[in-house]
Amino acid sequence: MPEILERRTIIHSTLHTSAPIQEPEMVEPRRLHTEEMVLNVGPQHPSTHGVLRLEVILDGELVVDVIPHIGYLHRCFEKHAEHMTYPQVIPYVDRMDYIAAMSGEHGYVTAVERMMNIEVPEKVEYIRVLFAELQRIASHSIAIGTYGLDAGAFTPFLYLFRDRETILEMFEKTCGARFLYNYMWIGGLSHDLHPDVLPMCREFVKQSRATHKEINNLLTFNHIFMERTAGIGVLDPQVAINGGASGPMLRACGVKWDVRKNDPYSIYDRFDFDVAVGSSEYATLGDSFNRHWVRMQEWEQSLNIIEQILEQYPINDTTDVQSAIPKRIKPDGEIYSRTETPRGELGFYIVGKGDVKPWRVKPRSPAFSNLSLLPLISRGYLIADLIVILGSIDIVLGEIDR
């Protein structure tokens, strides 16, 4: 305001004096100063994927800073683990990353088995890997489907949920539960594979490949979707490693890091598959599009693994899947063991003191670490891009808050 007043007085004074009219002195207009606004997104918001609250500081439509507030789903996993016996912890692990419960169980039972040096029968390992990979597809289906919702595409969500139901049906036939299974036990499984599952699985692989192609046409290479996601939320690989990113978030930056390859567990060393990484062919390395693209590729790789399992699966093996379950589970010592879940590196740091209950179970939850990078990658973008960036991280609040 003062500048304008000043200018006016100059013009006024020049008009009312007898002095020769001069060009009024122009005052350099200062940069328009806008006030920063704080916008609260969540904990109830259609696009926060759960009860996450974001305190967004905006300059107009530009995001100046994002402060995530978490803990709205803190269900005291670590306290419960201290009060339960080792097998009783498994249902709580299910409820931690509820979208990929099988993968979570796989991580936990692998950690306890490594602590106790349990050799698991080959058949059990095959079933575990089969289910973990099916779960990866189911989880990526939700991630891709809801990401489409965030970017304004509704139809892929319906297609993907239709396919996901097939996977859940296979799980349900085998262990009775649709969603949270308590299926993998320490040293074994709760039930043997249902005879219908392998034929269903063969059928599913065919159907899923078709859906994969369809989603690529509908969503991935959709011009609107690419415009919304390409070049948005770019993460540098060095920053990603330093910030503890893992899973698709890290691989989208071009870092070839997959626990299944770098620190093999179970029988993953028997299968031939590629580690999906982001590419600069379609968009900037490390951006939101590449995170989605890595998920699409991983879906295909999981199908490859499932096909190899279907070939190699020992059908005539009649081993009891509960034969290796130990009678006494009282491990001593401590371990950090990690597995690759759909969201990244899920590790368990377990301290046992020779008791039936663990002294301490601390999970390294991948979504927690990935979300902590959100402020870093969303500064300077528009508020609409923030939703796209958040969707590309693929968070599960149950795992973040535990």
Partner 1 sequence: MGFLDNLDKTGEGSVLVTSVDTLFNWARLSSLWQMSFGLACCAIEMMSTAASHYDMMRFGVIPRPSPRQSDVIIISGTVTLKMATRIKMLYEQMADPKYVISMGNCSNCGGPYWEYGYHVLRGVDRIIPVDVYVPGCPPRPEALLEGLMRLQEKVREQGKAVDLEV
Partner 2 sequence: MTHSEIIVLLRSRFGDAIGQWHDMSSDNAYQRQMGSYLDVTEPGVIQKLAFFLRDEKGLEFNNLILLSTLDNSDGSLSVVYHVESTQYQHELTFKVTLPRDNAKVPTVCTVWSHANWHEREAWDMMGIRFEGHPDHRRILLEEDYPGHPLRKDFREPDFYHGMKVPY
Task: State the residues that interact with partner 2 by CB under 8 A.
Answer: 70-71, 74, 76, 78-79, 114-115, 117, 239, 241-244, 255, 257, 262-263, 333-338, 345, 347, 349, 351, 359-360, 362, 364, 368-369, 372, 401
Structure token pair of residue 55: 């305190």
Measured between alpha carbons, how far is 47 from 86 in angstroms, rounded to an integer? Answer: 36
Among the listed ranges 21-29, 91-99, 108-116, 339-347, the one in contact with partner 1 (CB under 8 A) is 91-99
Nearer to partner 1, 164 or 338 (CB): 164
Q: Quick check: 282 binds partner 1 (CB under 8 A)? A: no
**Residue list 283-312, contact with partner 1 (CB under 8 A):** none
Q: Is 142 in the site for partner 1 (CB under 8 A)?
A: yes
Selection from partner 2, partner 1, none that 148 binds (CB < 5 to 8 A by kind) is none
Piece in contact with partner 1 (CB under 8 A), picked from 75-83, 211-219, 222-230, 289-297:
75-83
- Closest to 225 measured CA to CA, from 278, 136, 156, 294: 156
248 binds, among partner 2, partner 1, none (CB under 5 to 8 A by kind): none
The token duo for 262 is 């770098």
Give whichever of 162 and 206 is closer to partner 1, judged by the CB atom: 162
Q: Which residue lies nearer to partner 1 by CB, 78 or 274?
A: 78
- Does residue number 360 form part of the binding site for partner 1 (CB under 8 A)? no
12 touches which of partner 2, partner 1, none (CB within 5 to 8 A by kind)? none
> Which amino acid type is present at position 282?
Y
b (16+ CB within 10 A) / e for 122-142: ebbbbbbbbbbbbbbbbbbbb
Tokens of 140: 């990526």
Stretch that binds partner 1, among 43-51, 107-115, 268-276, 321-329 (CB under 8 A): 43-51
Considering only residues 86, 92, 147, 185, which one is a binding residue for partner 1 as defined by CB under 8 A?
92
**DSSP code for 382:** B
Total residues at interface with partner 1 (CB under 8 A): 33
Residue 170: CA count within 13 A, CB half-sphere: 24
Q: Quick check: 173 binds partner 1 (CB under 8 A)?
A: no
Residue 46 touches partner 1, criterion: CB under 8 A: yes
Task: Closer to partner 1 by CB, 48 or 290: give it.
Answer: 48
Q: Which does 239 bind (CB under 5 to 8 A by kind): partner 1, partner 2, none?
A: partner 2
User: Over the range 231-262, which residues count as b (16 or more CB within 10 Å of their CB) and which as e?
Assistant: ebbbbebeebeebbbbbbbbbbbebebbbbee
Sequence-separated (6 or more) residues with CB below 8 Å from residue 391 = 47, 49, 146, 147, 149, 150, 151, 288
Q: Single out the residue of 326, 283, 276 nearest to residue 297, CA to CA.
A: 276
Tokens of 290: 């590449």
Min dist CB 103 to partner 1, Å, is 15
Which member of 12, 75, 256, 360 binds partner 1 (CB under 8 A)? Answer: 75
8 Å CB contact between 252 and 237 = no
CA atoms within 13 A on the CB side of 129: 26
Task: Give the C-alpha separation, 240 to 267, whole Å.
Answer: 28
Q: Decide: residue 358, CB within 10 A, 0-12 exposed, 13-18 middle, 19+ buried.
A: buried
Q: Which is nearer to partner 2, 188 or 358 (CB)?
A: 358
The answer to whether 230 and 287 have CB atoms below 8 angstroms apart is yes
Binding partner of 11, given partner 2, partner 1, none, CB within 5-8 angstroms per partner class: none
349 touches, from partner 2, partner 1, none (C-beta below 5 to 8 Å by class): partner 2
CB of 254 to partner 1, least distance (A): 31
Q: Applying CB under 8 A, which residues contact partner 1?
A: 43-46, 50-51, 71-76, 79-80, 83, 91-92, 95, 98-99, 142, 157-159, 161-162, 164-165, 178-180, 397-398
